[in-house]
Amino acid sequence: MTTDTYIDMRNLALPTNELTGCPVVGCVTPLEKADSQWGEMPYCPEHRIRIHAGTRTFVYYNGRDATSKRDAALRNILFERDYFKEHILGNAAKAETHRICHETSEDALTWNVFSRLASEGLLTKLLSTFIDLDVKEEPELYLWGLKVDLKDSSAPSLFPPLKCARSVFEKGIAKFLTEPDIILYVPEQLLVVVEAKFTSGNTIALTNSSHDAPNEKPKSREGILERYPPSALPSNTLLAPSSSEPFYSQLYRNLVFAIYMANKLNVEWGLVNLVSERQFQQQRKVEFQDPTQFIRALLPEKSHNRFLFYSWERLYADHVAKAPKLKDLAEYMYYKSANGLKALAV
């Protein structure tokens, strides 16, 4: 193994009660210290990973200078790395690309899976799974609002309807604008927004609005409904929510954006919550529960089938495992780790 190798379950040692050294199997290199936002943390100079013993996860760490940080992030990108390096990593329109180097990065997982499917022209089949429509045309792929065209070497553009929706709903917000993880768009037919999760759950709104700030996205149920009201959408497309909890704030914002953007484009819309079955089954918190009932309560009955609670595991079984040309992606998903353990139930 070289110092810049990607690490997964093929390299990791079986977990013990206490993580005291490098998690890579057979590594006896004395640990050093490396910088982090939480202060100095244990670091393996042999495998260039910073070790978070409390959560049993690791972060690729090549050094503290900018070039080393970029190189470390790219270790987590297995597919279409040159495109990612040139157009996504460090892009001001993409929030928090510095987290790509984390073992548990949902952005890295999203890029690796969707860029690989796109490279083989397999997004049409996936889109047909997401929504019950006869889709014959390969959709345009937007990751974090940026158009990903692997055959185009020019800088990716921001999805124009997303820019428009932000100007309507998020005027005055200084940073961290709504950033759909995945948009699949078939011109003149369909737009599907996908909110992807890996080890984290769906965000729940606060009950108290005292933490809401004028120049930030609101965190409270009250603030969210004030900024993203159903009345801003065409009539009878989004219903006023009940007062029952929980209120899935991030999914609600993506729902509002999906309906608004599709209306602007005069196409059908869909919303998908893509999660890990294994990660969700390991948690008992409300953030890790199926939000289908919450979403359907916001929609007229005729629109209930526009939302899908789906998983990386189902995506693997439905579209990856049996495709010979995706053997590399199948291996990536099968051996993917999270917190030092097998990440997906595949």
CA distance linking residue 295 with residue 221, whole number of Å:
15
**What confidence score (pLDDT) does residue 18 get?**
66
Together in a domain, 147 and 215:
yes
Residue 164 lies in a domain: yes
User: Which residue reads 């013990």 in tokens?
Assistant: 16
**What confidence score (pLDDT) does residue 292 get?**
96
Give the three-state DSSP class for 10.
coil
Together in a domain, 127 and 39:
no
CA distance linking residue 309 with residue 271, whole number of Å:
9
Tell me the pLDDT of the chain (346 aa) as tens digits: 555 789 999 999 887 666 678 999 999 999 999 988 788 899 999 999 999 877 889 999 998 898 999 999 999 999 999 999 999 998 887 877 778 999 999 999 999 999 999 999 999 999 999 998 888 899 999 999 999 999 998 889 999 999 999 999 999 998 889 999 999 999 999 999 999 999 999 999 998 888 898 889 999 999 999 999 999 999 999 998 877 779 999 999 999 999 999 999 999 999 999 999 999 988 889 999 999 999 999 999 999 999 999 999 999 999 999 999 999 999 999 999 999 999 999 9
Together in a domain, 261 and 122:
yes
DSSP sequence for 155-211: PPPB-HHHHHHHHHH-TT--S-----SEEEEETTTEEEEEEE-SSS---B-BS-GGG
Residue 345 lies in a domain: no
Together in a domain, 174 and 258:
yes
Residue 90 lies in a domain: no
**What confidence score (pLDDT) does residue 254 get?**
98
Which residue segment(s) compose the domain that 139 sits in? 110-328
Residues in Cβ contact with 160 at an 8 Å cutoff, skipping those fewer than 6 apart: none
Together in a domain, 47 and 158:
no
**What confidence score (pLDDT) does residue 6 get?**
96
Q: List Cα–Cα distances, 198 to 34, 207, 274, 303, 343, in angstroms.
A: 26, 25, 8, 27, 9
Q: What are phi and psi of 71, to 5 degrees?
A: -65, -40
Together in a domain, 56 and 165:
no
Together in a domain, 126 and 227:
yes
Together in a domain, 4 and 149:
no
**What confidence score (pLDDT) does residue 9 get?**
96
What is the DSSP-derived secondary structure letter of residue 31?
A: P
Residue 55 lies in a domain: yes
pTM of the predicted protein model: 0.95
Residues in Cβ contact with 219 at an 8 Å cutoff, skipping those fewer than 6 apart: 205, 206, 211, 212, 249
pLDDT digits (tens, 9 = 90+) for 257-290: 999 999 999 999 999 999 999 999 888 899 999 9
